Structure 1
């Protein structure tokens, strides 16, 4: 069974991080924080610069496979192309 691609794996989460490498979360860089977020090793709330709403959005997007069930890819039937002369007046 083919699965529909919802493209959550292609979101550039890094642009939503402060990108300051401030280490206030205890991690050396924002890129390392992102790696840990993607593996589930840490929660977005550890970054003091991520708002509650953004943390919720991160958690939802990163755990979408647990929230939304797999969707079977469906293919719409191919309709025949009608001759344009049939519709002319």
Structure 2
């Protein structure tokens, strides 16, 4: 049975991970995604919460297929320092 998606691949995707703004959270997120993105060029942007306690890290890349997208979200969900993903 094939799985139908609402996304046509390859697709420009932005993944967002949020966590406490400590211990180089941005580096953690990019290191988690590097093996899954391969040689793709990703754009990384960050935004601190108003009080500076939390950091949002957005990674924009071209997703090649649904499996890659699932693997990226799984890697982020399995990291205890990542509190939320979008």
Higher helix share: 1
TM-score between both structures, scaled by the size of structure 1: 0.29
Looking at both structures, which has the greater relative contact order when contacts are Cα pairs under 8 Å and sequence separation is at least 6? 2
Find the structure with the greater CA-based Rg: 1
TM-score between both structures, scaled by the size of structure 2: 0.30
Higher strand share: 2
